[in-house]
Amino acid sequence: MRSHYCGELTASDVDQQITLCGWVHRRRDHGGVIFLDLRDREGIVQVVFDPDLEASFALADSCRNEFVVQVKGLVRARPAGTENPDMPTGAVEVLGQEFDILNKSETPPFQLDEHQSVGEDVRLKYRYVDLRRPEMAAKLKLRSKVSTFIRNFLDQNGFLDIETPILTRATPEGARDYLVPSRTHKGHFFALPQSPQLFKQLLMVAGMDRYYQIAKCFRDEDLRADRQPEFTQIDIETSFMDEGQIMALTEKMVVELFKSQINVDLDAFPTMPYSEAMETYGSDKPDLRIPLQLVTVSDLMKDVDFKVFSGPANDDNGRVAGLKVPNGGSLTRKQIDTYTKFVSIYGARGLAYIKVNDASDLEAGLQSPIVKFLPLEVRAALLERLEAKNGDLIFFGADTEKVVNEALGALRCKLGEDLELMTCEWAPLWVVDFPMFEATSDGGITAIHHPFTAPSCTPEELEASPLTGLSRAYDMVLNGTELGGGSIRIHQQEMQTKVFELLNIGAEEQQDKFGFLLDALKFGCPPHGGLAFGLDRLVMLMTGSNSIREVIAFPKTQSAACAMTQAPSIVATKQLRELNIKLREKIATD
Ligand code: ASP
């Protein structure tokens, strides 16, 4: 039905007879001449109709926005002075000769260029209209290019694309499962995979050696900003490669991806131990574009007569840290109040600060509601440790280590954005040497990655000190976002059993939930490891979008529902009966 895409026409097509199909983006009537901006997924071109071609002119005149039309015409250069350098097709226009309306459209729920005036709920309800916006089409096109690149790269490196089941058993990745009731096994449920983790490990036992899959994963997580209940991973597993080799290969993949798709040169990725990331940036996914750092000052505060500082300074789980903002002395009271409110989201009960007006005058040169509590020698030591200069401001966090890290870590990023402190556009790194476990609030321990991650110590050492044992895990981080994470896995049954035991998973539960894995580890399991990248996050960063919803064709809303299809929905009683399910409460059906 067409010879060209609208958005592809250039000066080299002048004098060609062409046929276009697309949507009416805008219609303008300029003194007897009709201009139609015609749009398809590749872009927009201007079509002109003269009144002498009566029938076409009348039809074009009757068109409204979003009508689907076919135009036959001649490409010509735009008259001198009317070129539009902002439009890729702005040097040309099409003289419309034949015109056909393929389908009409009601007035769309929003004008494409006015999408910002409607809420995201309206955009998601009419997503097929929203996706017609050239920016959205560009994002989906890049996403397609990214997955094609990844497939080619991995294929060329000997990886096999192997599908794993969607109806399966739970794989613990730290979220709730989506459950699917079985009709044939009454009272039994499948779980949708939180990741293909165990299947990819079993593929290694099967000798597949190098596996990948662009896999849908499902996690029923609490409502957190920018999470989707279903999302896509680039899932990778290999045998007989150590962490250095896996990291080198996947780093190469990401570097080549950025170069080939968005012409960005990423520098070699530095490697940072988890402990350093937490100490210096308060986060295990530090945004290294921001030059601010957390500096521990607990030791200086142990004896001060100020409980807010001395309490955490003397507590094993506490931390007092400073965050210096160079030239931050110019921040107003109001700005500081806003930041105080901001850190309260992370549990901080206040945000102490010192403005360094004159570093040489420890009595009168420091402006701060708390400085009176600090002896002169502490003030001097503080300024020295933070290398504070006149005009700087120091924020303080004093609480449990967790609260201080989260609050100052988030404040660091907020200041970086608000004060435009970014030193570069892209800052990738690897974070390594994660602890195996972390303490839970109920006194237990939980795996930081997942329970199949290999420790870098022996089972005995791990048992002796579970919370200090490190794992062979690695995360790839870009601009403060975790792009992907993985690990070398446990490939020996004894070690796997030990880790389950430490996680308080008893022998019976081990057999019930993971018996198939423990069996497989007995039948010649090779050393193996892998990782998974979040495709949505990757494309979000590459397109400069501010949410993963912007790069998913049909995302769920923030309440984990589909605004368009109204899923999830109630189902007929008959269907429930077949599944042997009875609802505890009657759900209103109207
Ligand atoms: N299964 C892990 C995850 O989804 C990734 C991996 O360890 O390969 O985070």
205 and 295 in a single domain? The answer is: no
321 and 253 in a single domain? The answer is: no
419 and 440 in a single domain? The answer is: no
Supply the pLDDT for residue 31: 78
Q: Using the 3D structure, point to which of 47, 79, 103 is the last residue of a domain.
A: 103
Supply the pLDDT for residue 589: 56
Is residue 418 assigned to a domain?
A: yes
- Ligand 1 binding pocket mutation candidate from 238, 450, 472 (most atoms within 8 A of CB): 450
Taking every pair of Cα atoms in the chain, the longest distance, rounded to a whole number of angstroms, is: 92
For residue 173 and ligand 1, the question of a CB distance below 6 A is answered with yes
CATH of the domain at 312: 3.30.1360.30
What would the mean pLDDT of 538-567 be, rounded to a whole number?
A: 96
Domain enclosing residue 55, as ranges: 6-103
For residue 213 and ligand 1, the question of a CB distance below 6 A is answered with no
Distance (Å, rounded) from C-alpha 159 to C-alpha 39? Answer: 39
Distance (Å, rounded) from C-alpha 555 to C-alpha 146? Answer: 19
Name the pTM for this structure: 0.95
Written as six digits, the tokens of 405 are 């890290």
Written as six digits, the tokens of 82 are 């009317």
**Residue of 203, 176, 173 lying closest to 189 (CA atoms):** 176
Is residue 112 assigned to a domain?
A: no
262 and 301 in a single domain? The answer is: no
Taking the mean position of all CA atoms in its chain, how far away is CA 402? Answer: 23
List residues bridging with 478 in a β-sheet: 428, 481
Is residue 324 assigned to a domain?
A: yes
For residue 487 and ligand 1, the question of a CB distance below 6 A is answered with yes
236 and 294 in a single domain? The answer is: no
Peptide bond into 568 cis (omega under 30): yes
**Residue of 63, 8, 13 lying closest to 34 (CA atoms):** 63
Q: Whose CA is nearest to atom 4 of ligand 1?
A: 195
Distance (Å, rounded) from C-alpha 315 to C-alpha 311? Answer: 6
59 and 165 in a single domain? The answer is: no
267 and 147 in a single domain? The answer is: yes
- Ligand 1 binding pocket mutation candidate from 164, 168, 171, 173 (most atoms within 8 A of CB): 173
Residue 556 is classified by DSSP as -
Q: Is the dihedral of CA 567, 571, 575, 581 positive or negative?
A: positive
Q: Using the 3D structure, point to which of 423, 451, 477 is the last residue of a domain.
A: 423
Question: How many domains would you assign to the chain?
Answer: 3
For residue 485 and ligand 1, the question of a CB distance below 6 A is answered with yes
SS3 category, 474:
strand
Written as six digits, the tokens of 456 are 């870098």
- Ligand 1 binding pocket mutation candidate from 531, 536, 537, 538 (most atoms within 8 A of CB): 531
Residue 178 is classified by DSSP as P
Buried residues in 4-33 as b, exposed as e (16+ CB within 10 A): bbbbebeeebeeeebebbbbbbebeeeeee
For residue 486 and ligand 1, the question of a CB distance below 6 A is answered with yes
List residues bridging with 472 in a β-sheet: none
544 and 444 in a single domain? The answer is: yes
For residue 195 and ligand 1, the question of a CB distance below 6 A is answered with yes
Distance (Å, rounded) from C-alpha 446 to C-alpha 143? Answer: 34
Structural element, H or E, at residue 578: helix 573-578
What would the mean pLDDT of 535-557 be, rounded to a whole number?
A: 97
pLDDT tens, residue by residue, 102-134:
999 999 999 998 888 888 999 999 999 999 999
**Residue of 333, 336, 386 lying closest to 356 (CA atoms):** 386
Distance (Å, rounded) from C-alpha 360 to C-alpha 376? Answer: 12
Q: Which of ligand 1's atoms lies nearest the C-alpha of 487?
A: 7
Does residue 4 surpass a pLDDT of 90? yes
pLDDT tens, residue by residue, 40-87:
999 999 999 999 999 999 999 999 999 999 999 999 999 999 999 999
176 and 267 in a single domain? The answer is: yes
419 and 439 in a single domain? The answer is: no
pLDDT tens, residue by residue, 229-285:
999 999 999 999 999 999 999 999 999 999 999 999 999 999 999 999 999 999 999
